Amino acid sequence: MLNKISTGVALAAVLAAIAAGGCVRNASGERPEVIELESLRPPFPWTAAVRFHPAVLAAAPGATWTVEVDATADLRGYREQYGRFTELILAVQAHRRYDERGFYRSGPVSIALSSNFTTTGLPIERFDGWPTLTALHGKDGSPFEAVKAFPLDGRIATKHKLSAALTVSLPDDTPVGWYEPRIMIFARVEGVPDPVMLENYGDNSNTQDLQLLPLVRVGEPSAPHIPWTVLSEYYYRGQAGTLPDEDKNHVAVTSRSGFVSQLTLKPGSYTAHVALPSVFPLFSLAPIDGGQEVITERNLNYFAFDRGEVHGSIDGPTGRRDLGTRRMAGEGASGPLLEGGGFPVDLSATGDYTIRLAGYLEDRYGRRFEGGGTYRVTAAQPLSFSTSCKPGTSFLVGGAYPAKVNVNPPFPADVRVEVDYYPNSDPARKVTWVGAGKANRFGHFTPHAGPPLKFDEPGEYVSRTEARYVDARGELWLHRQTSGGVVAPRQPEVLRIHGTRSFPYEIRYERDDLGAEARFASRLDMTTPFLPFRPSPLPDPFAPHEKTDTLFIPSGGFNESIVEPHVSMSVNDPALRRRLVDGYRLRSAMPSPLLQPHGKSWEYLEDVVQVSADSAAWFAAKDALELPILPVGDGRWHPFSFPERNRVDAYAYLGVVRPGFPVMTSVLQSEAIGLYWSASPNRFGEQFNTGFNGDLPGDQYRIQAGAVVKDRVTGKKLLRRLRRGDRRGRTGRRRHVDSAAGRTTACDVGRPALLRLSRAGHARHP
């Protein structure tokens, strides 16, 4: 797990204003302009002066692009236990930030926003940790790369000058778009196949502090459209603001506590600011404490926040109002400040509203980034309901969608349940089922107009439930909920999904399999450089392995008992498994400093599969017992950044539910940054029913997951469901009724998944 560190990137010298005619000059009128970048992460901080001409702001497929870099890498913190550094490598890599139509792209990692979607239209999250370059690692890079090696023939523990003109040769098939270059420095270690990024030797196992350059236009794409959200500072029921209709199917906010629905707020007066989730991701997610601490507050950028404007209007139950035009006046906490403050938005009357914003923001080169669109929000009194289908529920073939809804307060509300079912995950075969009607006077609703939707074959689904009630005063009460998941075969022959059994601590370096399941089975007796005592509280427990397992964790142990619901898969098709392993395997990997042996030479793993980047869990590739749920690209370019080139697509639906509200929801590829929560206290996205103290002893959860694997080479689509046992705060054998699937499951609590809380707060074997 990441620990938040307030170091990384600083822009030591900003660019000068644009001179007449669009030429880039510094204060003295000289060319070229210089950008100063620095990475402060110990033990190897570095600085770089990047010289460039206006011409480097544009490139073309099939042509070259060059940038001049003068860097200094400070290796005075070098120790022999790291292994011998034979060379330093200066690198530049860029991923698409906007595509040929100007729509936002996630790149290799999604934080707050995603431009990759499931068949059902839900956004997919991804976190990778350290970057990979095709030029260095042989795969999963970008068409926009260049590297320069500098041999280390003499003393290592000193400052090293690295000066080079990095020239990128863009392939003819480079996708048109706006690319964001990043400067990096790697060290090649004697005997280790792949070089290691210098920041990897720091205290964390990954970093989101990126040394970025201004966007480069490749080809002739449309003007970039930067995602704007509004009302994002008003956290409500798991959501933080909303994107416009125009961004639908192009980019979406990755809400964590409940899948995103149309925004609803309580009646009142609000102020509408322009928020930029691609620049300020932390402020665009409703807070789930624990994982929230590692979300980046601000990404390095080159926007001129005082050069832009926005015009607004609002339509609602009381008519239309023009909000006027406001100039941008500088940088705020989540986006540009507006002259006179944000737009006052009166949502006092309940009902549906449409906010329209249109405007632009310039970067320091005078390039316009269009923003805004049509935003929909509903003002309503808070209604709640309970559904048989909880967010993230997956089904088995032959099952039927349970559309029962219990409204609270018990109003005779108008209820609508709409389900889109995609047999074989095929959009062309979509089946839409709607159940609508009025709840009875006790708030109970069950559709009787027709038969329920039956899932006849494997596939995916998404459901949207809405309950509306207008009281005697004319006040609207409303709640909406979205769910999604897979429909899996009852007898899966190829794909199996389960909680991750790997464990990051106490790696058995002396064993070919690195310890594998042995580390999982003995995790209660593990020790690490930062937890040298026994018995130790269990940090970061993963999800239960089997659907019949129950995970017991302490209610107030180390790190407030952070829970990480990692899931992974096993594949029984030898040919497919071989292709997946070849796509996932790393020639080498370096465990983070926290996992290295104390006072000994550092270890570098070879030929491994990484199940978790965030928690640094590996299996030996030759006999990996588990595989990450990840796509496989074309062998050249990153599969999340360039999904159109993938040979295998893969993702997992995840839903963690506590009685009364969804705790954590996501569709992810293996994992997402900060996808975990601390037991107590916790705001859980400002959902209803959470309480002030978060989790308490005795609280329980149902963890559900479903995986989708699409083989684009053979056309096969594999789907698998797992509904796991609870995470609880007490011990015992229990039976729970799986109401959504209509069956009863016996939960045998076994040693690998059970923890008991002692008076001292230590986890121990039962």
Q: What is the pLDDT of residues 245-272, one digit of tens each?
A: 999 999 999 988 889 999 999 999 999 9
Q: What is the pLDDT of residue 616?
A: 67
What local confidence, expressed as pLDDT, does residue 542 receive?
A: 67
Of how many residues is the chain composed?
A: 766
pLDDT score, position 744: 22
How much of the chain, in percent, has pLDDT values that exceed 90? Answer: 61
Largest CA distance in the chain: 84
Whether 633 and 224 have beta carbons less than 8 Å apart is answered as: no
| Confidence band of 520 (pLDDT split at 50, 70, 90) | low
Q: Which of 643, 647, 644 has its CA nearest to residue 632?
A: 647
| DSSP letters spanning 653-689 | EEEEEETTEEEEEEEEES--TT--B-SSS--GGG-TT
d(CA 145, CA 168): 6
Tens of pLDDT, residues 208-244: 678 999 999 999 999 999 999 999 999 888 889 999 9
Rounded Cα–Cα distance for residues 707 and 400 (Å): 19
SS3 438: strand
Q: In the predicted model, is pLDDT for residue 108 greater than 80? A: yes
Q: Give me the residue label for tokens 């990755």.
A: 254
* Number of Cβ within a 10 Å radius of residue 752: 16
Residues 136-143 have a mean pLDDT of 96
pLDDT exceeding 70 applies to what percent of the chain?
83
Of 73-87, 205-219, 392-406, 543-557, the poorest mean pLDDT is in 543-557
What are the residues whose beta carbons fall under 8 Å from the beta carbon of 112, sequence distance 6 or more?
Answer: 253, 254, 277, 278, 281, 282, 284, 285, 295
Contact call for residues 556 and 758 (beta carbons, < 8 A) = no
Q: Residue 613's pLDDT band (boundaries 50, 70, 90)? A: confident
* Least confident span in 448-462, 529-543, 623-637: 529-543
Q: Tokens 């609280």 sit at which residue?
A: 699
C-alpha to C-alpha distance for 580 and 633, rounded to whole angstroms: 10
Mean pLDDT over the full length of the chain: 84
Q: Give residue-wise pLDDT tens across range 597-607.
A: 878 899 999 99
Contact, 632 vs 571, CB < 8 A?
no
Per-residue pLDDT for 595 more than 60?
yes
DSSP of 305-320, one letter per residue? Answer: EEEEEEEEEEEETTEE
Phi-psi region of 257 (alpha: psi -120 to 50; beta: other; left: phi over 0): beta
- State the pLDDT confidence band at 690, using cuts at 50, 70 and 90: confident
Q: Is the pLDDT of residue 19 over 70?
A: no
Distance, in Å, from the CA atom of 532 to the CA atom of 598, rounded to the nearest integer, reads: 10
Amino acid at 714: T
3-state secondary structure 98-121: ECCCCCECCCCCCCCEECCECCCC
- R_g over Cα of the chain: 26
Closest CA to 149 of 167, 162, 138: 162
Alpha-carbon gap, residue 705 to 516, rounded angstroms: 23
Which pLDDT value is given to residue 722? 64
According to the model, what pLDDT value does residue 746 have? 22
Handedness of CA 196, 201, 206, 210 (dihedral sign): negative
Distance separating the N- and C-terminal Cα atoms of the chain: 26
**Of all helices (H) and strands (E), which one includes residue 434?**
strand 431-438
Q: Is the dihedral of CA 510, 511, 513, 519 positive or negative?
A: negative
| Residue whose structure tokens are 């350290």 | 130
Q: Which residues are CB-contacts of 131 (< 8 A; sequence separation ≥ 6)? A: 93, 108, 182, 184, 197
The structure tokens listed for 598 are 């104390």
Which one, of 271, 63, 44, lies nearest residue 168 by Cα?
A: 63
Range of weakest confidence among 185-199, 517-531, 654-668: 517-531
Structure confidence at residue 737 (pLDDT): 24
In whole angstroms, give the CA distance from residue 419 to residue 432: 6
How many angstroms from the chain centroid is the CA of residue 680? Answer: 23
Report the alpha-carbon distance of residue 475 to residue 308 in Å, rounded: 39
Q: 697-733 pLDDT, tens per residue?
A: 777 888 899 999 999 998 888 777 765 444 443 322 2
Q: What is the pLDDT of residue 615?
A: 66
311-339 confidence digits (pLDDT tens): 999 999 999 999 999 999 999 999 999 99
- The pLDDT assigned to 205 comes to 56
Residue 117: burial class (beta carbons within 10 Å; 0-12, 13-18, 19+): middle
* Cα–Cα distance for residue pair 553/699, rounded to 1 Å: 11
Alpha carbon 217 to its chain centroid, in Å, reads 26
Indicate whether 735 pLDDT > 50: no
Q: What is the pTM of this model?
A: 0.88
Tokens of 551: 């995970």
- For the beta carbon of residue 735, count every other beta carbon within 10 angstroms: 8
pLDDT of res. 30? 46
For residue 553 the two structure tokens come to 């964790």
What distances in angstroms separate CA 437 from CA 76, 404, 411, 448, one per listed residue?
71, 11, 13, 9
CB distance 50 to 212 below 8 Å? no
35-44, 313-322, 494-503, 584-593: least confident range = 494-503
Kindly report, residue by residue over 427-482, the tens digit of the pLDDT.
Answer: 999 999 999 999 999 999 999 888 999 999 999 999 999 999 999 999 999 999 99
601 DSSP 8-state letter: P
In DSSP terms, 147 is beta-bridged to: 91
How far apart are the C-alpha atoms of 688 and 698, rounded to whole Å? 19
- pLDDT of amino acid 752: 25
pLDDT higher than 60, residue 299: yes
State the DSSP code for 616. T
Confidence at residue 80, expressed as pLDDT on a 0 to 100 scale:
95
pLDDT band at 195 (very low <50, low <70, confident <90, very high): very high
